[in-house]
Chain A
C-alpha cells in the first residue's frame, strides 16, 4: 500500500536530532502530554501520541516555518485519530484519577471525554493549552467562528450533563 511505502521511506532517513528540536521537545513534551491526556484520559496513549508527533516533526524539521504549531496540530490530530479508532467494543476505562481527586473533577473529566472529539479538542486547547480562538482555529483547521461554536456547544453540553446527569 502506498501509505506503508511512504513510512518505509521515512524510516530510511538518517535519524537526526537538531539542537533546536531537542530544546523544543524538552520544553513542549510535558505540556503536550497533559494536553493529550486531557483529550484521551489515558496517559500511555497520550505519551504515544506526543512521541509520534515529535518523530514526525523531526522528519519535517527543515521544511517547517512554525514547528511548535505543527507539533500542536499533530498532537491534536493524533488524539482525534485515537478517539476515532476506539471502537465501542474495545472501549476501556480511562486512567483512574488520583486517590485524592475530588468527585467533582472526576465527573468533569468523564463528561469532557464523552464530548465529540472536536468539541473536546477545542475546550482542552483553550483551557489546558491556553490557546486563544485564533490559535485553536489554526490548530484544528477551522474558522474562528467554528471554534467558538464548538467551545460553546461543548461547554453547554458539559454543563447540561453535569446538572442533569
Chain B
C-alpha cells in the first residue's frame, strides 16, 4: 500500500458520491438542522472547578498518574522489576520473590506444572480475566512456552505448543513429562468433546500428540498415577456417563465402574498404592434438605472399595504425606435448612481411612496447606494451614496489587509455590495481563530453601551497572539511526536512570514488542524512578519516527524525533506529560500539559464512590449546550469509586479521563466525546458530544 496509490484510491472512493448537485439555498432553508449541534464554537462557559488533583502517584490499572514535581532530577534510581524483590508477611516469613524476566508473553490462565526439576509454563491467553464482565470473550491462545529452574534461578525457552492447542483444558505431569489435554470445543455430544492430548517430553523438548480414546468426557480432568499411568476422567456425570480411562504403555484402558454412581465434583487423587476417587452423588443432591457430602472409593488391584462418608462439601484434591486435603475454608448451611454449617474443607488419612476436620476456627479464606512434606497452595491471597504446627498464617501480598486479580497460573513443587502471569488492574481488573513470575517458600522447617537469587542470572538485565545502560542506549541509538545531536536537552539524559530498551515497530505485532523493556519502564513510572524507553515506528511512507519516553521523579517526558519523517514536521518535538497511559500493545501515550482549574469556577462534588450521584451530576453537566463545564466531568469521574465498575466500564472510565485531559490540556480546543461515551457506558444514558474551540 504505497502512499500515492492510497491517495488515489481514497479520492476515487470519495467520488462514488458523485454526481453531487448543489441544492439551491432556498432548499437549504427548508432543511432542518439536525438534533446534534456540531457547531465547533464554544458556548458561554459555565466553568466549574475541579476537585483538587491528587498529589500522590496513583496506579490505576494501566495508567500512571504522575505528580507534577518541580525538580525532576533529585531521585535516586531504584531497581526495576527484573531484579528480585520481596514482600514480607507479618509473621516475618519470606514473601514472594520476583523471578528474572521470563522469555514469555504476558498471559492469564497459564498452565503451570512442576516436573520434579522445573516449573513449566505454557498455554494461557492474552485476554484479561474478567469475572464480573457482562459478556464472555476469549483471547488468543498463546503458544510460547518456557521452563523455570529454581535451582539456578534461570528460565529456558521450550518448544512452542502445537497449533491445535486451545488454552482451556487439563494438564498433569507423569514421569517428568507434561500432558496437556487441550479442549477445542467443550460442548459434548454422544462421543464426548473435541480435544487433543499432547505430551511434552522433558528429555528432548518436543510435543507429541497422544491419540485420545473414542470418548473424551466433558469437563475432563487428568491425574497422574505414577506407574499406573495417566487417568482421564469426567469432572461430572451431569452430561451423561463417560468412563474413567487410563493411558499406560501406549494404550487406553477403561477402569471398572465406580460404586458411587452418577456424581459430580469428581476428583481422583493419587493415594500411593491405591487410586482414590472423591465425588458427590447426583441423586443425593436432589434432597436439598440435607447437605450433599463428599463420598469416596479407592481402587486397588482392579477392585473398588468404598471409604467412609465425609462431613465436608469439597473433595480432597492434593496429597501431603499420608493425608489428602481439601484445603479450603468456609462452609454452607443450606440456607438454614441443614441446621448447621457444613465445612467446605477437611482431610482424609490414607493410613487410618478416616476423615478429619481442619483445625478450628478455620479461616474462610483458607487457600492451601503446607507441611514438612511439601506445599499445596492454590491461591495468591488468603490463608494457609501449617498442618505440622496446626497453625494458620497469611499468604504474603504480591506487589503492585497483583494478588487482587485472577488468572495466575500456580503450581507447587520443591517446597515452593510458583506463580506466573495473571490480570492487571487491582480488584477491578480488566486492564490486561502481565508476564511476571514469583516464587514463595512458606518457610516451613525442612522444606526447602528459596531460590538462589544470587546465582548467575542469564536472562535478566544488569540492574546495577548504569554505565552498562549508557552503553546500551548508545547502541540502541546507533541501531535505530537516531542522531542525538539535535535532540532537545535531556532527551537522552540517563544520568540517574535505567535504559529499559527499545522497540522497532513496523506494525504493532506482539513479537515486535520489547515486553521486558515496557515492564521496566512502567515499573520505573510506578516507583518514581528514572528510566528511558524508545519506540520507533515506521510511517506508512517508510520513514522512521522515534518516540523517546523518559520518566524522572514522577514526571514524564515525550520526545519525538521527526527529523527523518519526510511527511512530518522534520523536527524534534518535546512534551511534558501529566499522565503516561499504557495502552496494551500500543506505544505509550503522553497526556497533555494538564490544566489548572480556574479560581472562579463553581464546585461540583458528587459523593465519592456513589455512581448514582455521579450519573446525576454527569447528566446535569452534559445534557446542556455549554461545553465549558467539560473539565468538571474529569473531577466527577475521579470521584467515582472505580471498584464499583465492571472491567469494561473501568476501561471506558480511564479512557474518558485520559482522553478528555488530553483535550483540555490542548490549546486547540476539545470535545466531550470520550467522557460522554464513558458516561453513557456507566450510566446507560444517551448523551451527545459537545465540542469547543478556543
Contacts and interface: CB of A to CB of B under 8 A. Distances in A.
Contacts of B14: 34-35, 37-38, 124, 128
B11 A127 contact: yes
Contacts of A1: 623-624
Contacts of B454: none
A25 B129 CA distance: 53
Given A105-B9, A141-B663, A162-B1, A30 B38 contact: no
B308 interface: no
Nearest to A3: B625
Nearest to B666: A143
A25 B36 CA distance: 21
Contacts of A85: 36, 688
Nearest to A6: B625
A155 B37 CA distance: 29
Nearest to A101: B16
Contacts of B560: 145
Interface stretch (B17-25, B226-234, B235-243, B398-406): B17-25
B10 A51 contact: no
Given A34-B17, A81-B689, A84-B689, A74 B668 contact: no
B34 A123 contact: no
B212 interface: no
Contacts of A35: 14
A29 B27 CA distance: 14
A142 interface: yes
Contacts of B1: 155, 158-159, 162
B28 interface: yes
Interface string A131-165: 00100011001111110100111011011101000
Contacts of A29: 20, 22-23
Contacts of B12: 105
Contact of B693 (A73, A109, A137, A160): A73
Given A74-B38, A112-B10, A141-B693, A97 B573 contact: no
Interface in B10-52: 10-18, 20, 22-23, 25, 28-29, 31, 33-34, 36-41
A93 interface: no
A38 B623 contact: no
B22 A37 contact: no
A18 to B, nearest CB: 10
A112 B34 CA distance: 25
Nearest to A7: B33
Contacts of A25: 22, 25
B172 to A, nearest CB: 36
B537 interface: yes
Contacts of A43: 17
A33 B20 contact: yes
Interface string A85-118: 1000000000101100100110011001000000
Contact of A155 (B6, B41, B666): B6
Contact of A34 (B18, B575, B586, B673): B18
Nearest to B665: A143
Contacts of A104: 9
A26 B537 CA distance: 41
Given A29-B20, A128-B10, A142-B666, A78 B36 contact: yes
B10 A123 contact: yes
A15 to B, nearest CB: 5
A85 B575 CA distance: 34
Interface string A1-16: 1110011001000010
Given A46-B17, A144-B569, A145-B560, A78 B38 contact: yes
Contacts of B539: 148, 152
B39 A74 contact: yes
Contact of A60 (B41, B568, B624): B41
Nearest to A132: B567
Pick the most buried of A7, A98, A156, A162: most chain B CB atoms within 10 A of its CB: A156
A131 B568 CA distance: 13
B669 interface: yes
A78 B34 contact: yes
A1 B677 CA distance: 21
B69 interface: no
Contact of B20 (A30, A56, A75, A143): A30
Contacts of A124: 10, 14
A52 B508 contact: no
Contact of B38 (A77, A133, A162): A77
Nearest to B692: A141
B1 to A, nearest CB: 5
A97 B16 contact: yes
Contact of A160 (B31, B36, B507, B669): B507
A56 B33 contact: yes
A34 B15 contact: yes
Contacts of B28: 51, 54-55
Contacts of B625: 2-3, 6
21 contacts: A2-B626, A30-B22, A34-B15, A37-B14, A48-B31, A52-B38, A55-B31, A81-B38, A84-B677, A85-B36, A85-B688, A101-B16, A127-B10, A133-B567, A138-B668, A141-B668, A141-B692, A145-B560, A146-B662, A155-B540, A156-B540
Given A30-B22, A151-B540, 9 more contacts: A30-B18, A37-B16, A51-B23, A55-B31, A60-B41, A77-B38, A108-B6, A127-B7, A155-B1
- Nearest 3 pairs of A and B residues by beta carbon: A37-B17, A34-B14, A141-B669
Interface of A: 1-3, 6-7, 10, 15, 17, 22, 25-26, 29-30, 33-35, 37-38, 43, 46-49, 51-56, 60, 70, 73-75, 77-78, 80-82, 84-85, 95, 97-98, 101, 104-105, 108-109, 112, 123-124, 127-128, 133, 137-138, 141-146, 148, 151-153, 155-156, 158-160, 162
